[in-house]
Amino acid sequence: MKPISSPPSARNKARSPVHCGAGALVRGRPIAARACVLLLLSAAALCETRPRYGGTLRVQIRESVTTPEPPQTGPLAELTSAFTVSQWDPGRRAVYSADDNAPGGRPFLDTVEVQMGRPLRDQSIDLNLGRADLVELDPGDPQRPQSGRRVWSSAPVRLLALVFSPRVDDARIREALALSVDRTSIHTVLMQRQGEIAAGLLPQWLSGYSFVFQTATDVSKARALASAASGSRTLSLGVADPANRRIADRIALNARDAGLTVIPSAIPNPDVRLLEARIVFLDPALALASVAAALGLPQPSRADSPEALYLAERGLLEGYRVIPLLHLPDVYGVSPRVRGGPGITPGGEWRFESLWVEGRP
C-alpha cells in the first residue's frame, strides 16, 4: 500500500519559520533586525497557512453520474456530510454549497464545483492550465514533477479484473488466459508501479492473505491448456474505460503467446470484460461481497474469520471466472492553490471540509 502523501508545499512552508528562527539564533545578528525579519516571515507564513473561508474548489472526474438525483453512494455522496447540493445537472455538472450546520462546523470552502465526464487527458491539461483544482490522474501516466503540483493517492481501492461471460464454458481457456497475463509488466510499466499486483479479489492491506494467490505467469502451461481446449480460442475483450485500453492490448499480446486470440473491442456483450470494482467497505467480508456483486459473481458465504474469508474468496476464484489483475489507488492531481488536506482518505473518500483555496481561480 502506498502511503498517503501530504501536501509537500504546505509542509515545507509550515516548517520554514521554525527553520528561519533557529538559524537567526545561531548566527547572533542584531536582535531588532532579526526580530523584525522574523516577524515578517512569520506573518507571511501565517498568511499562507492560515485557513480562510470562501472560494470554490473546482473538481473534475471521469465518471458521468447520470441519475436524475444526486447519488447516495460514492465520492459525491460523501460530500454531503459538509456540503449540500445546490445544483445538479445529471452527467455534466454539480455544485455543492457549504453547509453552515455541518456536524464538524462550516467548511472553509463556499462551494465545490464538480465537472463530470471529463477525460483524464483533458483533466490533466486543465490542471496544468489552472482551470481545475482537483483532477483524477491516470495511474499509468508517468508523473513529471511540476512546480507546486501535488498528488494525493488513496490506498489500492479499485480492483481491475477480467470477468468471463458464462458462454466461455471451457475452464482451460479461462485458465490459459489467467496464466498468460504478465501482471508484473502491467504493474511496472503501464501502471508505473501504482497499486499492487492482484491475484485475489481483496487487496493485501484489507485481507492480509492476498499474497497466497498465485500471480506468476506460465506461458507454456497456458499454451498447453489453450491447445487442449475444445472451443474457440478467439475471445472478444470488452473494455468499457478507454483508460484501460493499453492494459487490454497488453493482455491481448500476452494471450497471443499462449495461442489465444484476444480482440479488445467495445462490443456490448464480449466474451470477457476488463472491469473495475471499487472496495467500498473496510470490513473484508462486506468488501468481498460488494466486489463479488460488482463483478457479477455469486455471493460468497458469510465469513466470520480470516480463514473462512479466504475460503470464500478462493471459492469465487476457482474456475477462473474472474482473473484479478491489479489493485489500484485513486490518484488525484492537486492545484497549488488548494490548501489543507489531504482531501482524500486512504479509502478513497473525499474530505473537502478541511480544504481552502488561495487566490483567485
Residues that bind another protein (CB under 8 A): 142, 182, 185, 188-190, 192-193, 246, 249-250, 252-253
Minimum distance from residue 213 beta carbon to another protein (Å): 23
Distance CA 223, CA 229 (A): 10
Query: Taking a C-beta distance cutoff of 8 angstroms, is the pair 219, 257 a contact?
Result: yes
Q: Which is nearer to another protein, 170 or 249 (CB)?
A: 249
Cell numbers that stand for 83 in this block: 456540503
Q: Which is nearer to another protein, 15 or 193 (CB)?
A: 193
Query: Taking a C-beta distance cutoff of 8 angstroms, is the pair 95, 112 a contact?
Result: yes
Q: Which is nearer to another protein, 181 or 279 (CB)?
A: 181
Q: Which is nearer to another protein, 171 or 190 (CB)?
A: 190
| Cross-strand partners of 314 | none
Q: Are strands 234-239 and 261-265 parallel, antiparallel or unpaired?
A: parallel
Q: Which is nearer to another protein, 45 or 253 (CB)?
A: 253
* Dihedral (Cα; 21, 22, 27, 30), 10-degree rounding: 30
Q: Which is nearer to another protein, 16 or 143 (CB)?
A: 143
Distance CA 290, CA 249 (A): 28
Q: Of all helices (H) and strands (E), which one includes residue 247? A: helix 245-257
Minimum distance from residue 252 beta carbon to another protein (Å): 7
Q: Which is nearer to another protein, 188 or 220 (CB)?
A: 188
Instruction: Transcribe 285-331 into DSSP letters.
Output: HHHHHHHHHHHTPPPPPP-SSHHHHHHHHHHHHGGGSEEEEEEEEEE
Q: Which is nearer to another protein, 187 or 339 (CB)?
A: 187
Minimum distance from residue 250 beta carbon to another protein (Å): 4
Distance (Å) of CA 299 to CA 159, 184, 212, 218, 311: 17, 29, 21, 30, 13
Minimum distance from residue 162 beta carbon to another protein (Å): 15
Instruction: Transcribe 212-245 into DSSP letters.
Output: GS-----HHHHHHHHHH--S--EEEEEE-SGGGH
Minimum distance from residue 164 beta carbon to another protein (Å): 21
Q: What are φ and ψ of residue 142, in 5° steps? A: -60, 125
Minimum distance from residue 182 beta carbon to another protein (Å): 7
Minimum distance from residue 249 beta carbon to another protein (Å): 4
Minimum distance from residue 253 beta carbon to another protein (Å): 5
Minimum distance from residue 257 beta carbon to another protein (Å): 9
Instruction: Transcribe 147-200 into DSSP letters.
Output: TT-EEEEEEEEEEEEEEE-TT---HHHHHHHHHH--HHHIIIIISTT-SEE-SS
Q: Which is nearer to another protein, 1 or 253 (CB)?
A: 253
